[in-house]
């Protein structure tokens, strides 16, 4: 079992819709969870981090954490074509471990 798993996608949503990206992790001891956005050919950019169960909102982005289910998700409201990118979930396991990423395509 991979330490951090994501559906590779691509996930296609129409402009203005909510995009829902999901991630599961294997280590129940994980405490810190991150979402990075990576445009093609560029380096990852941190967009959200969450430590506690529940929701954390920042603008159009909401991170959701459920430690009992070992599940973290990212919701993007009012999706824009500029949100089209690969979204990487990452978990602290002594060091940051990344999932393989989910490709998001927002169609105008």
Partner 1 sequence: DGGITQSPKYLFRKEGQNVTLSCEQNLNHDAMYWYRQDPGQGLRLIYYSQIVNDFQKGDIAEGYSVSREKKESFPLTVTSAQKNPTAFYLCASSILRQQYGYTFGSGTRLTVV
Nearest CB to partner 1, comparing residues 12 and 32: 32
Q: How far is the CB of 7 from partner 1 (least distance, A)?
A: 13
DSSP letter at 78? Answer: S
Three-state SS letters, 37-75: EECCCCCCEEEEEECCCEEEEECCEEEEEECCCCEEEEE
Nearest CB to partner 1, comparing residues 18 and 96: 96
- Does 92 bind partner 1 (CB under 8 A)? Our answer is yes
In Å, what is the CA distance from 52 to each residue of 13, 44, 61, 84, 94?
28, 23, 16, 27, 18
In Å, what is the CA distance from 70 to each residue of 13, 38, 63, 79, 80?
25, 23, 14, 26, 29
- Does 101 bind partner 1 (CB under 8 A)? Our answer is yes
Q: How far is the CB of 16 from partner 1 (least distance, A)?
A: 28
Map residues 13-52 to x or -, x wherever contact with partner 1 holds by CB under 8 A: -------------------x-x-x-----xxxxx--x-x-
* Residues lying near partner 1 in the complex (CB under 8 A): 8, 32, 34, 36, 42-46, 49, 51, 88, 90, 92, 95-101
């Amino acid at each position: 079992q991979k330490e951090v798993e994501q559906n590779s996608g691509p996930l296609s949503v129409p402009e203005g819709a909510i995009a829902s990206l999901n991630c599961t992790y294997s280590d129940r001891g994980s405490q810190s969870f991150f979402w990075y956005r990576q445009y093609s050919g560029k380096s990852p950019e941190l967009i959200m981090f969450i430590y506690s169960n529940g929701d954390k909102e920042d603008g159009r982005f909401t991170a959701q954490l459920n430690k009992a289910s070992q599940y973290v998700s990212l919701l993007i409201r009012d999706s824009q074509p500029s949100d089209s990118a690969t979204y990487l979930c990452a978990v602290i396991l002594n060091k940051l471990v990344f999932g393989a990423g989910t490709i998001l395509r927002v169609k105008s």
